[in-house]
Amino acid sequence: EEEEGNASMPEEDLVELRFRLFDGTDIGPFRYAPSATVAMLKERIVAEWPR
């Protein structure tokens, strides 16, 4: 009953990633399916990277 809202992708199947920068700040956390590629991760990280 509790999982009715998670029909598209169950949360427990996702991997959560967080990146710590040299100044101690974090980028993320980002949630990805285990099938995500390194290229997909890189695109997201570069888009979020502080300028």
pTM over 0.75: no
Q: Is residue 6 part of a domain?
A: no
Range of the domain at 32: 11-48
DSSP reduced 3-state for 37 = coil
Total of domains in the chain: 1
Q: How far apart are CA 15 and CA 20, in angstroms?
A: 17
Q: What is the pLDDT along the chain (51 residues), one digit of tens a residue?
A: 455 554 555 557 899 999 898 999 998 898 999 999 999 989 988 898 887
Within a domain: residue 39?
yes
Residue 32 lies in a domain: yes
